[in-house]
Amino acid sequence: MARITVVGSLNLDMVMRAERLPMRGETLTGGVFSTAEGGKGGNQAVACARMGASVRMVGKVGNDPFGDRLVESLLREGIHAMVGRSGGHTGVAQVTVFGDDNAIIVAPGANLDLKPWDLQEDHFKDATSAVFQLEIPVDTVSRGLRMARDMGCLTFLNPSPLKPLPDEVIGLVDYLVLNQVELTQLGGTDDPDLSMGRLLGLGVKGVVLTMGSRGARFLSVESSGSVEASRVEVVDSTGAGDAFMGAFAVMISEGHSMEEAVRFGVTAGSLACLKAGAQPSMPTREEVEGAMGRL
Ligand code: RIB
């Protein structure tokens, strides 16, 4: 069984479903409101757990009811919640869902209080892999990558939302999973092949370019290829990238090939679009395996 430590953000998502985004200065009525557990870190932790991995989640929430709700939800998923409390408010995301798309504003709050010195060897001890995103401070991610490497873990980074990353930090990553904008920035060119090649040159073992409804492309030291996504009736695409990341990380951690892991990730991402909410929409392993043939 893969043992995965996820270091990252926990947000409560305030979701407004609307026909379209309002224009500047416009008030749009007729929205439908709900809340859901979210945050890229929490979402990826839930995705890994539902794929059958044993998961530790390292993060920070505020001393408030949103924080209680997020921690309780992780525990219900069977995740070992190594979640501290800070003086700031729990992270909140304002998510607008319109058509197949979404637009998100995050107020990170306590997520920014997860500091490098909060990371302990215990967080990574005996883990197969460690998974990071960028909704927490970059210094914390760099230290976490270094600690995870030193402790023999495979390291995964989803550099979202994008922030400048020194090459030596990228060099601590075994598997990078990113979208076109992130690839252009980190790879230094808008040619995906050149950019992916450049990232491998920094020491990354495998790079995956996620392309939403168009699937994903990958390049590793041993292989390259692409996987198409099947067409699905999108209910809510929030968290689809996180579903990909979780499923991909679990498959690689179990020793599967890049192509198998990307195929699994693309299917998990498609399934996550079929349900509302970020964490509530993460598919189980049985659902992904069942859909592999069908979709
Ligand atoms: O990736 C989706 C997530 O981004 C949402 O759950 C929201 O909390 C933001 O962090």
Q: Mean pLDDT for each consecutive 10-residue tract of the chain (295 residues)?
A: 98 97 94 97 98 98 98 98 97 96 97 98 98 98 98 98 96 98 96 97 98 97 94 95 98 98 98 97 97 79
Q: What is the 3-state secondary structure (H, E, C) of 75-124?
A: HHCCCEEEEEEECCCCEEEEEEEECCEEEEEEECHHHHHCCHHHCCHHHH
The amino acid occupying position 4 is: I
Helix (H) or strand (E) run with residue 131 in it: strand 129-133
**Does the beta carbon of 11 lie inside 6 Å of ligand 1?**
yes
Give me the CATH number covering residue 158: 3.40.1190.20
Measured between alpha carbons, how far is 19 from 247 in angstroms, rounded to an integer? 31
Range of the domain at 168: 3-22+29-292
Q: Does 242 participate in catalysis according to the annotation?
A: yes
Which pLDDT belongs to residue 295?
60
**Does the beta carbon of 40 lie inside 6 Å of ligand 1?**
yes
Residue 179 assigned ligand-binding role? yes
Q: Whose CA is nearest to atom 7 of ligand 1?
A: 39
User: 26: CA distance to ligand 1 center in Å?
Assistant: 25
Pick the atom of ligand 1 nearest to 43's CA: 6
Q: Whose CA is nearest to atom 2 of ligand 1?
A: 239
Alpha helices by DSSP H, listed for the chain, are 40-50, 65-76, 121-124, 138-150, 167-170, 180-187, 192-201, 240-253, 258-272, 285-294
Which pLDDT belongs to residue 293?
76
User: 240: CA distance to ligand 1 center in Å?
Assistant: 10
Residue 39 assigned ligand-binding role? yes
Number of domains present in the structure of the chain: 1
**Does the beta carbon of 278 lie inside 6 Å of ligand 1?**
yes
User: 189: CA distance to ligand 1 center in Å?
Assistant: 27
Which pLDDT belongs to residue 294?
74
